[in-house]
Amino acid sequence: MIAEKYYTNMAKVKMYQGTNDRGDTVYTAETSVPCRFDYDAKETIDSKGNKIVSTANMLCRMFVPPLSIVSDECNNHFTVKSCKPIQSVFGDIDHYEVIL
């Protein structure tokens, strides 16, 4: 398990909820989430087999659905491309890797 002391950043997250009857995107209220950012560009494969190029990754304890909006401490805004659970050695979910 990633110790809480390694979550050195705070992200502001607006969770994607879907669209309303007019087709507008609906988000939850902004919440603060302790996390750790990694700003390296990476190429990964999502659960559906699609290739994703990310500009940053965020590690946190909360599932963040795709299309959510994440803001870092420098007020950079990212759209979530994918979120995958990372298992611990015991088989339970340790944390989530959010691909931005």
Average pLDDT over residues 20-43: 92
Length of the chain: 100
Domains in the chain and their CATH numbers? 4-99 (2.40.10.370)
pTM recorded for the entire structure: 0.83
Q: CA-CA distance, 34 to 49, in Å (whole number)?
A: 29
Q: For residue 44, name the pLDDT band (cuts at 50, 70, 90).
A: confident
Which residues have C-beta within 8 Å of that of residue 79, sequence separation ≥ 6?
A: 67, 68, 69, 70, 100
Q: For residue 3, name the pLDDT band (cuts at 50, 70, 90).
A: low
Nearest to 59 by CA among 15, 12, 16, 9: 9
CB contact at 8 A, 37 and 54: no
